[in-house]
Amino acid sequence: MLGSTDIRVSPVAFGAWPIAGMTSINVNDADSLATISACLDVGINFIDTAYCYGAQGESERLIARALGPRRDEVVIATKGGIHWGPEGSQVLDGRPETLRRECEESLRRLETDRVELLYLHAPDPKTPIAESAGELKRLLDEGKTRAVGVSNVGVEGLAEFHAVCPLAAYQPPYNMLQREIEADALPWCRERNVSVMVYWPLMKGLLAGKLTRDHVFDAKDGRRKYPMFSGEEWDKNQDFVDHLRAIAAEVGKTVAQVVINWTIHREGIAAALCGAKRAEQLRENAGAMGWRLSTDQLARIDKAIAERGTPVTRRAVR
C-alpha cells in the first residue's frame, strides 16, 4: 500500500527517466512506447516520471501516448521542483507558484486530471521546504494528486515537510552498495508509515551483471562521470558482481533479478524504481517479483557486501 492511502503499487516500478533520452543512449519512441505498454502485462502497475524528465517533458508525453484508455489501471507518480535552465543545467525551484505551474503542465502532458503521487523532486535552497510542502498540500486538497511525497532529502527535510503536508512516500537512492538511509531515514519512515520508493536499485546498470570488465562507455554515456564506473572502484565492483552471478546461477535468475529481489524485500522498502528502455528489460525487471532468496543466499550477499568495502560514490539529484 502507498503510505496510509488505499492505493496499491507493485514492488517493482517502471522508472521512466531513461526514456527521456537525456543521459541514455539508443532511445527511440517506438521502443519507449512498447516498454510502457508492456508494464501491466508483466505485473507492473506503478510508473514513476517527473516534470524534468526530458527537455520538453518527453517522458510524461510518451506515458500518455502509451497508456491511452488504460490510464486508470496505472499508478502514476510525477515530481516537480526541477526544470532545465537555458544552458541545459538543472534548476531547483520549489516556490509554490512554480510547483503549481509544473503540476498543471504535467497533468496536461499526461492527459489526466490527477496523478496518484506527486513529489517535491528536491529541496530548493532558496525556498523553505515548509513553503513547498504547503503548496503540495493545497494540490492534494484540490484533488490534483491523491498523495504526496518528497525525494532527495534527509531526515530533517522529511520532518519539516511532514509537519506541513502528510507524506505518503519518500524517494531516495538505495542499493546494495549505497545504504545510507538504513541509519536514519528508513527507520523514520517505517515509524510513520511512509512508503520508501528507492531509485538506483541497480546503480545505473552496474549491478545488473551485464557490463563486462573491459566495457568501454560511449562518450555520451552519463555513467562515465561516476567513480563507481572506473579505476579501482570498477574492479572492486566487478569482483562483487561475480559473487552475485554465482547466486543468480543457483536460483535460475539473472543478476539484475537477484539484486532487485534483494532490494524489494529489505525491511521498509515498498518499491524499487527500475529504469528500462526496451520491453525485454522491463520483463526482466518484473521477474524479480514473486519469489525470495534463501537465508543462506542472503548471508552470502551480506558477506560479499562486507568484503567489497565502502564504495566511493556520490548521492546526486537525478
**Residue 79 grid cell:** 515530481
Report the C-alpha gap between 297 and 173 in whole angstroms: 24
Find the catalytic residue in 53, 119, 170, 199.
Answer: 53
Whether 53 is a known active-site residue: answer yes
Looking up cell 555513467 gives: 223
**Residue 273 grid cell:** 524504481
Burial 181-203, CB ≥16 within 10 A → b, else e = beeebbebbeeeebbbbbbbbbb
DSSP letter string over 114-140?
-BSEEEE-S--TTS-HHHHHHHHHHHH
Identify whether the C-beta of residue 56 lies closer than 8 Å to the C-beta of residue 109: no
Report the C-alpha gap between 161 and 132 in whole angstroms: 8
Report the SS3 class of residue 113: coil
User: Which positions ≥6 away from 146 have C-beta within 8 Å?
Assistant: 5, 7, 114, 115, 116, 117, 140
CA 207 distance to own-chain centroid: 15
Give the helix ranges, DSSP H, for the chain: 29-38, 58-67, 96-110, 129-141, 155-162, 185-191, 231-251, 255-264, 279-286, 295-308
Task: Tell me the catalytic residues.
Answer: 53
